[in-house]
A and B are shown apart, each in its own frame.
Chain A
Amino acid sequence: MGLRRVNVDVPLMIAAVALSAFGLAMVFSAGQTEVRTAATNAYRAQTVWLIAGVILAYAVSRASVRLIEWMAVPIYAFSILLLVLVLIPGLGSGAGTASSVHGWLTIGGKRLGQPSEFAKLAVVLMLARVLAQNRSPAKSMVELWKPILVVAVPFLLIFKQPDLGTDIVFVGIFFAMLFWSGVHWQLLVLLASPVVSLILGFDPKVWGAWFVVLIALVVWYKPFFSEGVFIVGANVVTGILGPLIWDHVKPYQQNRLLVFLDPSVDPRGSGYHVIQSQVAIGSGGWLGRGYLEGPQKRLAFLPEQYTDFIFAVVGEELGFIGVALALMLFLFLFLRVIRVAERANDSFGSLVAFGLLASWFTHVLENVGMTLNLMPITGIPLPFFSYGGSFMLSCWIAIGVLIRVSGEGRGKTGQLLV
């Protein structure tokens, strides 16, 4: 095979490179502390991962969308296999000293990677394949059994690790891709309604109002009778029983449940983390305390400052301007990916692009929101910023896929010989 002309989505590339460079600079800064921490030399490994990621992205962009679609099933099956392996004692690390770290595939004491990061990619590909096969969008829940199954299997495996943050991303991907495939928003709301009831159930008045809205929605959308009854029933159960049960368990049991859902979070220590993160960000002001100079970071007051809380370092050192720049770069990337999804040649490519968007969007919303205490603390990384090999690789593989989808799509953007 000789060289072929492939349209490279230059703005997309620029966004990804700019975000990665920004992120690498922050990982380096996170390591500059008064006390030596695990972060001190993290930037070196991160640089290696970034280079490997770019190379992988190039390789992936050489594969046609057709080939990717064909590969979706084996990739999905392989990633499920990896998720099962992680749960086998001896292969998944978690026991022993590093009990806070979960979801690592470990062979002979060497940590190979976190399969859950690649599972996100695999689920996007598989969902796109399944949804693209439907001729018309699903109108009832029964028709959705296939996509539900595709997400439910990895969802439950990761729930078993357990890793709540990653599961939230799966939910985001699932709803976003159903929406993009043309499922009516009313059906999506009905699908999500039991969870909404579970949360709103703690305030009877709000839950009452929600229930009226729900009934109206059911009457309007007219699902199958059995499905309507099921949804209303599920809402009653989660809305009334959920808070009742929660109130009847003792605080330490509530804590235990929270820790079970995400052991990387110490419910007693997390208050401290959020306060330190907010103080760091809040003290940043317009221009920040200066790159490498953030006092909260330097004194290692910030928890996980090179992984989950890296955005707090951005806030402290580069101020509101730096935060705005980072968020604008993400916005630019997202809008560009939406454009790729709109102009894709076929429904599979379009769904893949939108699924990848949903994955990144959920990460950014949850991770950035967490640093300001707007979102619950779950151990979820910030794309292109947080230190971590598996995630960096999977992000750049996604860029490779997007470049390919974009290149095969309609509308000529920049043309380059690759």
Chain B
Amino acid sequence: MSFHPNDVIRRGRVATVIVCGTLVFLLSAFFRTQIIRNDLYMLQSQGNRLRQVPLPAARGVIFDRKGQPIADNVIGYSVALFPQSEDTLRATLTRLRATIELTNKQFESAITRFRRDRSRPTVIIPDASFDVISVLEEHRLDFPTLIIQSAPKRIYPAGKAVGAFVGYTAEISDNELSNFEGYKPGQQIGKQGLEKQYESVLRGKEGIQYVEVDAKNRPVGRSTPINDLKPEAAPPLQTNIDLDLQTYIHSLFGDSITGGVVAMDPKTGGVLALYSAPAVDYNRWVGGVSNAYYDSLKADPRQPMYNKAVQGTYPPGSTWKVATAIVGLENNVVNFKDHMPEACRGFYYYGNRPWKCWEKRGHGSLDLGNAIEKSCDVFFYQLGLKLQLTRLVAGGVGLGFLGKTGIDLPEERKPSFPDKVPEYFNAKFPRGWTQGSIAVNMSIGQGENAQTVLNMARFYSAVAMDGLSRRPQIARIADTTQATRLYTLPPDQLKMIRDALAGVVSTGGTAAGAQIQGLQLAGKTGTAQSGNFKDGKELNHAWFVGFAPANDPKIVVAIVLDNVSFHGSVTARMATAIMARYLHSVVVSKVETEG
């Protein structure tokens, strides 16, 4: 290090010269650009500008497990203008009206789009029919600033059948624009379901064509120095959905029944089908839903836009008795051959009132296995009292009845279930409550308990897998989702739970009518009161949750039928039809691969 003052001053001089020289060089470059060539650039700034014409990219195709498309793209046409100002835009739109049909809504939204982004062409009709295009092509010379482009359009071939999970795409809103990075006004974005959940995956890369326009914004040709950016389509998204099963479920429901269905593969967590009735055809939502269709959906008392599989929560009723049984076994309060102190006479007397069993004639004295098969309320009232509320609630929380399942759908709603005893009940019933009657009520899945169909499907998957719970997953990103163990019981007890559930769907069980030859089913019916009345009779939420084959579960089906006059046993027949359909097709496909 040499820091003799003379050296330092010499080096300081060199540095000063370099710094001054560089800045003088930069300044002279600005003088050349800003003063000498000012006319040229001023002209370019005022009149001739490069305009970017976006080239929309195709979204990723969504496939079912067998490679059938659930969401696909077809060629659509968009019509856009390069207006100079809002006034010229209004004038051109008015002239366009003489040639093609333009609604007031299209007129106004074109103005809004122009205000949002003037550097891109203003889209007039995002999805124009071929007729409109051919008329416009004839009048091309009258509208020199017109740009007609082919733009991929989203289509859901199965229509209503897949509405419950696929969602739809539409133009990005102002709100979304400020929340998502890298989006421009006018672009399409996933609004619901898988389209929203996997937006970042499904979205392609938009291309850009650089077009030079003259002072009146008429495209005058392509500018040479710029290379266009080609749009890049997004890779496909594979899902666990079985589209055949999904459309089959849709056909089972018809138009009159309301409810939700979830079918899962308990071994992988893959969602095979997810359905909500009445179904919505989201093809009619792509690019913007018409007011008439939206109003008709809104006015429908059965609330089609409310997803019965993942948003609707219903008291699980008797389907929840399996949970009470597992919590009882876990806490060693009961064993499989145990009987309760009091035999079922059709009611149970507790707290100065009788609690009815659904079987007025009574079941007599049952052990736990038989109580599950016959769904005896009186048995479970006493089991609930033996467990006491704190253990019952803690056990339910441990089995996952408090939280979301974590399925890859943005719409999933949290079930309602007490989190803590006694805080939850103190807040809920400030005027006092008794532990016993709440435990009695909750032991049969009534009271402070409302579950989504999806969460019941998840729970029965865990039951089918002897306690191993997997997160339900629609997209097939991995072969299986991560498993957590919900409960650990000795092997003989695990077997007995499954035997009891198999007993439900065999002669003598509550769903005996749903038996199918050659297929061993297991499951549980449930009938919960809805609080809604029709013709003086209270309507039910009719449940069935089960799996098949009982000894080697390949499919779990959970169904709730909303506000119906019949019981869970009817729902069970629907569920067995679904299971049989799936298992039958699985066998067939296996034969094919072997051949």
Q: Which residues of A contact B (CB under 8 A)?
A: 34-36, 38, 96-98, 100, 131-137, 179-182, 266, 268-269, 271-272, 275-276, 278-286, 295-296, 299-301, 315, 319-320, 323-324, 327, 330-331, 334-335, 338-339, 341-342, 346-347, 350, 354, 357, 361, 365, 368-369, 372, 374
SS class of chain A's interface: helix, strand, loop or mixed?
A: helix
Q: Which B343-359 residues sit within 8 Å CB-CB of chain A?
A: none
Q: CB-nearest residue of chain A relative to B117? A: A35
Among B15, B27, B200, the residue within 8 A (CB) of A323 is: B27
Q: Does B420 count as interface, using CB distance less than 8 angstroms?
A: no
- A296 → chain B closest CB, angstroms: 6
Report whether B1 and A137 are in contact in the complex, using a CB–CB cutoff of 8 Å: yes
Report whether A295 and B45 are in contact in the complex, using a CB–CB cutoff of 8 Å: yes
Report whether B34 and A132 are in contact in the complex, using a CB–CB cutoff of 8 Å: no
**Which of B1, B27, B38, B210 has the largest number of chain A CB atoms within 10 A?**
B1
Report whether A335 and B26 are in contact in the complex, using a CB–CB cutoff of 8 Å: no
Report whether A134 and B1 are in contact in the complex, using a CB–CB cutoff of 8 Å: yes
A272-B210, A283-B41 are contacts. A354–B15 as well, Cβ < 8 Å? yes
Report whether B119 and A272 are in contact in the complex, using a CB–CB cutoff of 8 Å: no
A36-B178, A280-B45, A320-B34 are contacts. A347–B3 as well, Cβ < 8 Å? yes
- A317 → chain B closest CB, angstroms: 12
**Which of B41, B116, B226, B227 has the largest number of chain A CB atoms within 10 A?**
B41
A282-B37, A283-B41, A296-B45 are contacts. A361–B19 as well, Cβ < 8 Å? yes
Report whether A279 and B41 are in contact in the complex, using a CB–CB cutoff of 8 Å: yes
Q: Determine the chain A residues whose CB is within 8 A of the CB of B44 once the complex forms.
A: 279, 282-283
Among B20, B29, B38, B226, the residue within 8 A (CB) of A283 is: B38
- A195 → chain B closest CB, angstroms: 18
Sort A-B residue pairs by CB-CB distance and give the 5 closest, nearest first: A282-B41, A283-B45, A182-B2, A320-B34, A342-B12
A282-B40, A331-B23, A350-B8 are contacts. A272–B118 as well, Cβ < 8 Å? no
22 residue pairs from A and B, CB less than 8 Å apart: A35-B116, A131-B1, A132-B1, A269-B229, A271-B226, A282-B33, A285-B34, A285-B42, A296-B45, A299-B119, A315-B33, A315-B34, A327-B23, A335-B20, A338-B15, A339-B12, A341-B8, A350-B8, A365-B26, A369-B26, A369-B29, A372-B33
| A394 CA to B119 CA, complexed, in Å | 36
Q: Determine the chain B residues whose CB is within 8 A of the CB of A324 once the complex forms.
A: 27, 30
Q: How many residues of B contact A (CB 8 A)?
A: 52
Among A299, A334, A374, the residue within 8 A (CB) of B118 is: A299
Q: Does B49 count as interface, using CB distance less than 8 angstroms?
A: yes
Q: Determine the chain A residues whose CB is within 8 A of the CB of B225 once the complex forms.
A: 271, 275
Q: Determine the chain A residues whose CB is within 8 A of the CB of B226 once the complex forms.
A: 271-272, 275
Q: Determine the chain B residues whose CB is within 8 A of the CB of A137 once the complex forms.
A: 1-2
| A319 CA to B38 CA, complexed, in Å | 10
Q: CB-nearest residue of chain A relative to B43? A: A283
Q: CB-nearest residue of chain A relative to B20? A: A331
Among A97, A295, A365, the residue within 8 A (CB) of B22 is: A365
Q: Determine the chain B residues whose CB is within 8 A of the CB of A34 once the complex forms.
A: 115, 118
| A272 CA to B8 CA, complexed, in Å | 45
Q: Does B185 count as interface, using CB distance less than 8 angstroms?
A: yes
Q: Does B440 count as interface, using CB distance less than 8 angstroms?
A: no
Q: Which B201-243 residues sit within 8 Å CB-CB of chain A?
A: 208, 210, 225-227, 229
| A175 CA to B40 CA, complexed, in Å | 40
Q: Does B150 count as interface, using CB distance less than 8 angstroms?
A: no
Q: Does B131 count as interface, using CB distance less than 8 angstroms?
A: no
SS class of chain B's interface: helix, strand, loop or mixed?
A: helix
Q: CB-nearest residue of chain B relative to A331? A: B23
Q: Determine the chain A residues whose CB is within 8 A of the CB of B182 once the complex forms.
A: 97-98, 100
Q: CB-nearest residue of chain A relative to B200? A: A97
16 other A-B residue contacts (CB within 8 Å) besides A271-B227, A282-B33, A299-B118: A135-B1, A137-B1, A137-B2, A179-B14, A182-B3, A182-B11, A275-B225, A283-B45, A284-B34, A285-B38, A295-B46, A300-B119, A320-B34, A335-B20, A369-B26, A372-B33
Q: Does B492 count as interface, using CB distance less than 8 angstroms?
A: no
Q: Determine the chain B residues whose CB is within 8 A of the CB of A295 once the complex forms.
A: 45-46
Q: Does B294 count as interface, using CB distance less than 8 angstroms?
A: no
Among A96, A319, A327, the residue within 8 A (CB) of B26 is: A327
Q: Determine the chain B residues whose CB is within 8 A of the CB of A268 once the complex forms.
A: 227, 229
Q: Does B483 count as interface, using CB distance less than 8 angstroms?
A: no
Among B14, B34, B177, the residue within 8 A (CB) of A282 is: B34
Q: Determine the chain B residues whose CB is within 8 A of the CB of A281 once the complex forms.
A: 30, 33-34, 41
Q: CB-nearest residue of chain A relative to B114? A: A34
Among A134, A179, A278, A354, the residue within 8 A (CB) of B41 is: A278
Q: Does B50 count as interface, using CB distance less than 8 angstroms?
A: yes
- A263 → chain B closest CB, angstroms: 14
| A98 CA to B181 CA, complexed, in Å | 7
Q: Determine the chain A residues whose CB is within 8 A of the CB of B20 once the complex forms.
A: 331, 335
| A266 CA to B230 CA, complexed, in Å | 13
Q: Determine the chain A residues whose CB is within 8 A of the CB of B49 once the complex forms.
A: 301
Report whether A283 and B1 are in contact in the complex, using a CB–CB cutoff of 8 Å: no
Q: Determine the chain A residues whose CB is within 8 A of the CB of B208 once the complex forms.
A: 269
A269-B229, A331-B19 are contacts. A342–B9 as well, Cβ < 8 Å? yes
Q: Determine the chain A residues whose CB is within 8 A of the CB of B424 once the complex forms.
A: none
- A33 → chain B closest CB, angstroms: 10
- A31 → chain B closest CB, angstroms: 13
A271-B226, A327-B27 are contacts. A282–B42 as well, Cβ < 8 Å? yes
Among B16, B30, B229, the residue within 8 A (CB) of A315 is: B30
- A324 → chain B closest CB, angstroms: 6
| A278 CA to B14 CA, complexed, in Å | 32
Among A275, A278, A347, the residue within 8 A (CB) of B33 is: A278
A181-B1, A323-B30 are contacts. A275–B50 as well, Cβ < 8 Å? yes
Q: Does B35 count as interface, using CB distance less than 8 angstroms?
A: yes
| A36 CA to B117 CA, complexed, in Å | 9
Report whether B7 and A182 are in contact in the complex, using a CB–CB cutoff of 8 Å: yes
| A177 CA to B50 CA, complexed, in Å | 44
| A272 CA to B50 CA, complexed, in Å | 8
| A136 CA to B15 CA, complexed, in Å | 20
- A285 → chain B closest CB, angstroms: 5
Report whether B19 and A372 are in contact in the complex, using a CB–CB cutoff of 8 Å: no
Q: Determine the chain B residues whose CB is within 8 A of the CB of A346 once the complex forms.
A: 3
- B161 → chain A closest CB, angstroms: 31
Report whether B119 and A342 are in contact in the complex, using a CB–CB cutoff of 8 Å: no
Q: CB-nearest residue of chain A relative to B185? A: A35
| A315 CA to B32 CA, complexed, in Å | 12
| A327 CA to B33 CA, complexed, in Å | 16
Q: Does B31 count as interface, using CB distance less than 8 angstroms?
A: yes
A97-B181, A275-B50, A323-B27 are contacts. A286–B35 as well, Cβ < 8 Å? yes
| A137 CA to B229 CA, complexed, in Å | 52
Report whether A136 and B2 are in contact in the complex, using a CB–CB cutoff of 8 Å: yes
| A136 CA to B2 CA, complexed, in Å | 6
Q: CB-nearest residue of chain B relative to A181? A: B1
Report whether A320 and B45 are in contact in the complex, using a CB–CB cutoff of 8 Å: no
